[in-house]
Structure 1
Amino acid sequence: MPKAEARAIRHGFPWVYANEMVLDRRTKALEPGSLAVLEDAQRTALGVVAVNPLSKIAARVLDASPGAVIDEAWFEKRLAAAQIHRALLYDAPFYRLVHAEADGLPGVVIDRFGEVAVIQPNAAWAERHLPALVAALVRVTGVGTVLKNAAGRARALEGLDAESGVLAGAAPKGPVSVRMNGATYMADLTGGQKTGLFYDQRESHAFVQRLAKGARVLDVFSHVGGFGLAALAGGAEHALAVDGSAPALALAREGAEASGVAERFETREGDAFAVLQALGGEGARFEVVICDPPAFAPSRQALDAGLRAYERVARLAAPLVAESGYLVLCSCSHAVDLAAFRAASARGIGKAGRRGPLVWEGRAGPDHPVLPQLAETGYLKALAFRL
């Protein structure tokens, strides 16, 4: 591979794109997920990589040592290091255990829900080595059940199927309760979005909880009640959760019951943009408004359209914020950096005729570490404006 790209790999960049390496006939014939030793133009070994000739990411660096053996013991070492970090942070085993490249397991996401772990093997090499990964996971964590979630765009880009299932133990009967920031959330681990619950907003929930004491709260794109339930647990007067998914809102109401705040919690099903417009027409006002949409820009090709969507969210949400209230806007788009998201949000607020300082910027919690060389691992952004 070229000198500049080889230098990046030596400095910790974990990917090699297809146009950065020589893919001869033999290499192109390799099965997706095959292991190989990556070499630079001088034939100096750079480490063990997983190769996928079908993907734009042609190779993912697994180990800087060219002699590394990718077996159960190798997985155990990576998983043990990941668990030690999380055990320092959280009193109970409910967290993201593995955050892909940042935890040394490229393309692999593992969320832990007590005795259950949910794996998203989003790269071909992880799919091929799933038995060893699962065996190591059970040995290191002691979980009784391991589920595979195969939903999502990333697997399709790797040429993988969308078939989820049970890899060890038995699937839980019904949703699993998760306690965070004083609230109880209900996670559907087999039929919900992604792995069933979004742990990444835990720190942002805690911040909003501080803002929301005695407040009326609007939680748009609420999923299973994320911000709204946290706000109520912290003393909010009332929370309205808006989402397009009836099953997600049903879980949110279950969470409100389990949290003991059902009498202060309300849900509204519908398209978020339409509901925001309707609330504006009704003259509704809230001391705290949070909008945490799905990724509007999941790729660079969708960047411009995504930024317009974030601007529109801000424009529709800002009029609903009471004087001196707070507007919290979030983005989980890999392709949108913080500066671009901040600018789009500010434009939307301005077009709504509102003004106010940015008082806080947030990111995913420490169970979602960022690999400095790979901006995509720092995907989550949260902004709080006081209007």
Structure 2
Amino acid sequence: MSKVILKKKIAQRIANGHPWIFSNEIDKTEGAFDAGGIADVYFHDGKFAGRGYVNPQSQITVRLLTRKKEEINDQFFHRRISEAWEYRKKIGYTENCRLIFGEADEMPALIIDKFNDYFVIQTMALGIDVWKPAIIKALEDIFSPKGIYERNDVPVRELEGLKQQKGFLSAPFDTSIVITENGLKFHVDIENGQKTGYFLDQRDNRRQIQHIVKGADVLGAFTYTGTFEIHAAHYGARSVYGIDISENAVAQANKNAQLNGLEHVCKFEAVNAFDALKTWAREGRQYDVVMLDPPAFTKSRETIQKAITGYKEINLRGMKLIKNGGFLVTSSCTNLVQPELFLQIIDMAAKDARKKIKQVTFRAQASDHPIVWGMENTNYLKFLVVEVTNK
């Protein structure tokens, strides 16, 4: 077993449980140091820190899998996946859920989403990619799935020296499936949809709009496949208009509306939301509820200011479109924008829009995406509903 010895002065987060060890935190290594292999990590005083996989090519040189001196083998991954499944069942997530949420489930850089009897996997680091056969075998043993698909078409893999790829990890199957969420049905495009094909993390938050949309005229921007908007129609909205820049997403959204018999309430069109919000505010359009669910505006700390500016701008424009006493439903999935900062951005947008806001609810992602204190990357989704009134 190769060894990694940490420097005397390291970030306290490692001792506190964070699994990432950066190259500049390593004092020395002993033994073979093979990319993708397993190494034992020790603090500078000789105390055991944990065992994990290594990749000298990556800025995150070691990702710890365990704090125990236990063997990392096929049974290890079978046990971890079984434990994660038992946890989801205990908290009420079974039919569709994020089965493995990377670091939060002590399997760094691994994502597994469960859609009915189909599973989608992302292995975003070399050290976990090596164990893909063991992970597939564990899923087959525990679930007897109808299909497993790989969505490793993510640029972050290239930082690990891995190529982007996607495809079947089981016998081929129809990758266009239908799932049920909150009593509604949605098409999921496992092969070509964003991320793993569907955003399970907003499932609980979609229920939070049920009272504010009754009898309302609703505008949804950055709708993707229309899940929030279709929930709004289901909960009694008078009219729902959703916009997204993607023609494919809009086509899927209209299909989802038809699937639920709500096409007479919902209308989706391919429109640039940034331009439209600005133009419509100038034209004096007004809605009872405006919902904003934009993509992440940054993936790096270097461009964090750009993300702050972007979030402030779209929320300011959204507020200007809301009738006095109406509601703004807004989200951010950028983990670099932590909750306190997000609330500050919304406050700044309200001041610039000359609006008063009253918080209705502020939430994170669904509980099948567990938040581990001390791991900022696990606390990534912010979901906020505010009442908006004129000053």
Taking structure 2 as the reference length, the TM-score comes to 0.93
Residue 215 of structure 2 corresponds to which residue in structure 1? 214
Aligned to 1:109: 111
1:156-190 deviation line (CA, Å, top 9, x unaligned):
332221111111122325x2112112322211000
Aligned to 1:38: 41
Aligned pairs for 1:16-165 within 5 A: 16-24=21-29, 30-31=34-35, 33-66=36-69, 68-90=70-92, 92-165=94-167
CA–CA distance in structure 2, aligned partners of residues 191 and 338 of structure 1:
30
Shift of 1:6: 7.9
Is residue 2:245 matched to residue 1:244? Answer: yes
Which SS does the other structure have where 2:367 is aligned? coil
Shift of 1:280: 2.1
Post-superposition shift, 1:24?
Answer: 5.0
What is the alpha-carbon distance in structure 2 between the residues aligned to residue 358 and residue 227 of structure 1? Answer: 19
Match of 1:360 in 2: 361
Does the Cα contact within 8 Å between 1:314 and 1:329 map onto a contact in 2? yes
Instruction: Tell me, yes or no, if the aligned pair for 1:147 and 1:171 is still in contact at 8 Å.
Output: no
> CA offsets, 1:219-276, max 9 Å, x none?
1111111210111111111211111111111111111111111110101212210121
DSSP-derived class of the 2:243 partner: strand
Task: Look up the match of 2:14.
Answer: 9
Change (3 A) 1:147 1:123: same
Which has a greater percent of helix?
A: 1
The residue type equivalent to 1:2 in the other structure is: K
In structure 2, relative to structure 1, the CA distance for the partners of 1:91 and 1:157 (3 Å cut) is: closer
- Give the corresponding residue for 2:382: 381
Number of matched pairs: 383
Secondary structure of the 1:211 match is coil
- Consecutive unaligned residues of structure 2, counting only runs of 5 or more, are 1-5
Q: Partner of 1:317 in structure 2?
A: 318
| Paired residues of 2:332 and 2:383 also in contact (CA < 8 A) | yes
Distance 2:206 2:127 in 1: 35
2-side partners of 1:334 and 1:299: how far apart? Answer: 10
Deviations 1:6-37 (A, max 9, x none): 8643431111111101355966x622x21111
Runs of at least 4 residues of structure 1 off by over 6 A?
A: none
- Judging changes above 3 Å, is the alpha-carbon distance between structure 1 residues 305 and 26 closer, same or farther for their aligned structure 2 residues? farther
**Alpha-carbon deviation of 1:366?**
0.6
* Contact 2:155–2:164 (8 Å) recurs in 1: no
Distance 1:206 1:20 in 2: 44
Deviation at 1:138?
Answer: 1.6
Secondary structure at the aligned position of 1:134 is classed as helix
CA distance in 2, matches of 1:25, 1:70: 19
RMSD of aligned residue pairs (Cα, Å): 1.8
User: AA paired with 1:106?
Assistant: P
8 A contact 1:329–1:345 mirrored in 2: no
Whether the aligned pair in 1 keeps the contact of 2:74 and 2:134 (CA below 8 Å) is yes
Shift of 1:331: 0.6
1:4 CA displacement: 5.2
The answer as to whether partners of 2:114 and 2:120 remain within 8 angstroms in 1 is yes
Which residue does 2:333 correspond to in 1? 332
Show CA shifts across 1:329-366 (max 9, x none).
Answer: 21111111111111112212221222222221111011
**1:106, CA displacement in angstroms?**
0.6
User: Contact between 1:18 and 1:57, CA under 8 Å: does it hold in 2?
Assistant: yes
Counterparts of 1:81 and 1:124 in 2: how far apart (Å)? 23
The residue type equivalent to 2:358 in the other structure is: P
Task: State the AA in 2 paired with 1:11.
Answer: N
Runs of at least 5 residues in structure 1 that lack an aligned partner in the other structure = none
Identity of aligned residues (%): 29
